[in-house]
Structure 1
Amino acid sequence: MTQIQFNLDMDFLKESLMNSNIDNVVKSTIVLVLNEYMEKERDAYLKAGAYERSDERQDYRNGYYDRDYMLSIGKVKLCVPRTRSGEFSTTAFEKYRRCDQAFALSMLEMVVNGVSTRKVKNVVEQLCGEYVSKSFVSSLTEKLDPIVNEWANRSLGTEYYRYIYVDAMYIKVREHHKVVSKAVYIATGLNEGNKREVLGLKVSHEESYEAWNEFLRELIARGLQSPKLVISDAHSGLKKAIPKVFIGTSWQRCTVHFKKNLIDELPKKSMNDVKEELKQIFDVSTPEMARKRKDEFVSRYQDNSKLNKVIDNLENGFDDAIQYLNEPEEYQKFIRSTNSLERLNQEVRRRERVIRIFPNTQSAFRLIGAVLMDYEEEEQKKRPIFKRD
């Protein structure tokens, strides 16, 4: 690598320090260093100093051109050296780059954390006194595409995820000049270190058996092994897809959703005791205890015509709602519902509300993927949900 030595005009630097505020001091210093660096870089390229005769000379100086350069401290004006052939290019900054990497990453982080592009634009103007268009901020986020795509397509064959949670949420996306509803499929799992991990993300059309089947098969194609248990709500398409894709896997119906559905079907008055008895059916540690409480509940209220529908639904959904009780007791409270995934969905929703309507499907995948990556990174820093002896 070529070593370039250069001297700074210390008198000029001293004058800048004495007569300017700190922002101008920093800017002046950067301008001085970069200009001198580029000058020496051109000398090294030409293999000849100013006014020097040399048999090794390979080009000639051709003055300078001014270029505005955006840094995290604001915009500076540089004098970029030129050569007659035009083949010289400085390495002091990337060609056509609009801002330095730290500043770009800061703007990306603002967008990922739910700050609208309009607000990001305003922040940049306040910090740097420089106009940045909304389209520039939007185009900047496209830098996330290869990062999110690589994460979303990573191999899942290096670990075994015994428990997997799946759910879908809906967002609004512009498509062919119309605003349409899109389903966001998310899968998370409990890894071998007992930490939660995001396994998959897909933005597609509305929930259906075909869509869920495709999403789950994509996880298998990436190396995912059939888990012991899949925890989800009772969407009919998902229920049908799980046994088709995951051979030998049991389905756990989210007990929170199930109890809520049963309670919503109760009469509105004088049902507090009934509600508590319904909840206590699942507040046990073995399937035998749950079945005993369920049978006692049915026996007690089977002659109450107002509860016939509740009892029928309890009987029909009971077995699917107690699969978690067949697993070790230390896992049970973590696998009986999709609460952890619901909280993740809320975090995605918090960022999504700022945007309201995504300009296209790729932008939705990009932002939601970045949010999930951020969530997963934080989860890996936490302690395992529990430690087994």
Structure 2
Amino acid sequence: MRDLLQNTINVLLSADADLVAGAEYGQASQSRTAQRNGYRHRELDTRVGTIDVAVPKLRTGSYFPHWLLERRKRAEAALITVVADCYLAGVSTRRMDKLVKTLGIDGLSRSQVSRMAGELDEQVKTFRHRPLGEAGPFTFVAADALTMKVREGGRVINAVVLVATGVNNDGHREVLGMQVATSETAAAWNTFFADLVARGLTGVRLVTSDAHRGLVEAIAANLPGTAWQRCRTHYAANLMSVCPKAAWPAVKAGLHAVFDQPDAASVNDQFDRLLEQTSERLPEVADHLAAVREDLLAFTAFPKEIWRQIWSNNP
């Protein structure tokens, strides 16, 4: 996000300076009133970090981006929103044109707006397909599928966005990949994970996800030897579906108590107590719990300090 924001601001500054100069950079024009003369660099603090802003200089007259440096809070919020939106929804000339007008920059040519959109689109594409080797190994990975409505061929349909996040060697979460599919299938997940591995995903010790069969099989096929943690949040919803409605509050409390324990031994002891409490009155619930024990408690093989970050695929 920091790189995308810096690139977007600098491209906007260059286009805005072209308006002041009366012609685009490097273009011969009778309407030109000034020549570009390098840049002056200054740091700009934003909520995603400090970025290097390259403010264009003119040989005659001056250029100062009031829309950015005097109204930085509003401009920064708008820019971060559009960069995030462009990443998720794709870049369009219309969206970019609407952004620059909200910032108070009016009069950009269609070619300038189109070029800006294209540069941002290319940067997003580079990020999505970047090699992962340098930032790895990624010890912990979370995978999930999000259903979103998209417009295609004049109609609105449901599409699935496959997303994976990982913890890099600096200890920070990082989006590893994002891929749009028509539906959540084994083939889609296998292609997704194969691409991550081909881009350099290594060192994975644990993957956290729901129990979608195709997803679990793709993890095993592409990351052999990696442990799998069944997401506790998704599992609670699965367990509720086999539990009588009247009994669910007590079962839910017992399940939460499993995760509230201070160490691995206590977690397993509490799970045993939950099985005992449900085995006679709720045998279907007890069978369901017993079948998932190993996968649901995989987090206990790792340090207590990170349990909360790895027992669910919701970051």
In which range does the TM-score fall when normalised by the shorter chain?
0.5 to 0.7
Structure 1 residue 131, shift from structure 2 partner: 8.7
Query: Residue 165 of structure 1 aligns to a residue in which SS?
Result: strand
Q: Could you say which residue in structure 2 is the equivalent of 1:196?
A: 173
Determine the structure 2 residue equivalent to 1:283: 260
Q: Structure 1's 172 and 259: CA in aligned 2 closer, same or farther, altered over 3 A?
A: closer
Give the conservation status (yes or no) of the 8 Å contact 1:210–1:237.
Answer: yes
Residue number among 248, 257, 264 corresponding to 2:225 in the alignment: 248
Residues 285/239 of structure 1: CA separation in 2 closer, same or farther (3 Å cut): farther
**Alignment partner of 2:83 out of 100, 108, 112:** 112
Structure 2 counterpart SS, 1:334: helix
Offset of residue 294 of structure 1: 2.3
Change (3 A) 1:178 1:111: same
Aligned-partner Cα distance in 1 for 2:221–2:81: 41
Letter in 2 for 1:111: V
The 8 Å contact of residues 231 and 313 in structure 2, kept in 1 or not, is answered as yes
Q: Measure, in 1, the Cα distance between the counterparts of 2:170 and 2:125.
A: 25
Residue of 243, 261, 272 corresponding to 1:295: 272
Q: Comparing 223-232 with 122-131, which one deviates more in the overlay?
A: 122-131
Q: What SS does structure 1 have at the residue aligned with 2:104?
A: helix
Aligned to 1:151: 127
Shift of 1:125: 7.2
The TM-score normalised by the length of structure 1 is: 0.55
- Distance between the aligned counterparts of 1:195 and 1:339, measured in 2? 15
Q: Within 5 Å, give how 1:205-220 maps onto structure 2.
A: 205-220=182-197
TM-score normalized by structure 2?
0.67
The change in CA–CA distance for 1:128 and 1:264 in structure 2 (over 3 A counts) is: same
**Per-residue deviation at 1:126?**
8.4
Paired position in structure 2 for 1:163: 140
- Aligned residues: CA RMSD: 3.9
Choose 1 or 2 for highest CA Rg.
1
Report the Cα distance in structure 1 between the residues aligned to 2:276 and 2:102, rounded to whole angstroms: 70
Give the residue type in structure 2 aligned to 1:193. Answer: D
Structure 1 gap segments, 5+ residues each: 1-29, 43-63, 67-77, 81-89, 94-99, 341-389
Asked if structure 2 preserves the Cα contact closer than 8 Å seen for 1:34 and 1:92, the reply is no
Check conservation: 1:226, 1:246, Cα contact below 8 A: no
Q: Contact conserved, 2:177 with 2:196, CA < 8 A, in 1?
A: yes
Residues 286 and 326 in structure 1, CA contact (< 8 A), matched pair in contact too: no
Instruction: Report which structure shows greater RCO (CA 8 Å, sep ≥6).
Output: 1
Q: CA deviation at 1:219?
A: 0.9
C-alpha deviation, 1:232, in angstroms: 0.8
Task: State the 1:225 CA deviation.
Answer: 1.0
Contact 1:285 1:325 in 2 (8 A): no
TM-fit CA distance, 1:329? 1.9
Give the structure 2 partner of residue 65 of structure 1: 30
- Deviating more after overlay: 214-223 vs 137-146: 137-146
**Change in 2 beyond 3 A, CA 1:109/1:325:** closer
Alignment of 1:323-338 (within 5 A): 323-338=298-313
1:266/1:127 CA distance change after superposition, 3 Å: same
Which one-letter code corresponds to 2:232 in the other structure?
T
Q: 2:208 aligns with which of 227, 231, 244?
A: 231
Q: 2:285 is matched with which residue?
A: 310
1:274 aligns with 2:251: yes
Is the 1:110–1:120 contact (alpha carbons within 8 Å) kept by the matching residues of 2? no
For each residue in 1:318-367, what CA deviation from the matched residue of structure 2 results, as whole angstroms up to 9, or x when unmatched? 21010010112222221111121xxxxxxxxxxxxxxxxxxxxxxxxxxx
Distance 1:270 1:278 in 2: 12
